[in-house]
Structure 1
Amino acid sequence: MTQQPAFKFKIGLITATIWDNDGFFSVDIARSYKNGEGDWCTTSAFSHNDLLNVAKCAERAENWISRKQAASSQ
């Protein structure tokens, strides 16, 4: 059985996926693109034009994790 992400969101071509491993959260950030055959693929390499959306995704992920941890500590 494959574990489902705790939360996932997208800004432009950048996607942040948050995983909950028994209260320890990790985040995957990836960029979507079409290859030469027209198939959608992902990469963890980013161009200069991607960096603002990468930063926004990282900030949103941090905010989401902080809220979850605060709610679970109450």
Structure 2
Amino acid sequence: MSNQPAYRFKIGLITATIWNNDGFYSVDLTRAYKTQEGDWRNTASFGHNDLLNLSKCAERAESWIAKQLAANS
């Protein structure tokens, strides 16, 4: 995998990071949260209120990857 993501986007507190490893794409989905000290962190644990944005991020990531694969074929 490259050190830089192929694409990254956010919807609300959810971030999708897409990685390209020689044409094989993988996606990391994370949720941002603030600690009691005021520092921002990320987690791969999601609550009920995150699920709609999580599903939208997954759908958008799938669409972006499909476009990349179609352009390269």
With structure 1 as the length reference, what TM-score do the two structures score? 0.95
Deviations 1:16-36 (A, max 9, x none): 000000100000000000011
Instruction: Report the 3-state secondary structure (helix = DSSP H, G, I; strand = E; otherwise coil) of the residue aligned with 1:16.
Output: strand
Q: Which residue of 1 aligns with 2:42?
A: 42
User: Displacement of 1:44 after TM fit?
Assistant: 0.3
Deviations 1:39-68 (A, max 9, x none): 000000000000000000000000000000
Instruction: Report the 3-state secondary structure (helix = DSSP H, G, I; strand = E; otherwise coil) of the residue aligned with 1:28.
Output: strand
Give the aligned residue type for 2:20.
D
2-structure distance, mates of 1:25, 1:36: 35
With structure 2 as the length reference, what TM-score do the two structures score? 0.97
In the alignment, structure 1 segments of 5+ residues that lack a partner are: none
Pairing 1:16-31 to 2, within 5 Å after superposition: 16-31=16-31
2-structure distance, mates of 1:44, 1:52: 15
Q: Structure 1 segments of 4 or more deviating over 4 A?
A: none
In the alignment, structure 2 segments of 5+ residues that lack a partner are: none
Equivalent pairs: percent with the same residue? 67
Q: Which residue of 2 aligns with 1:57?
A: 57
How many residue pairs get aligned? The number is 72
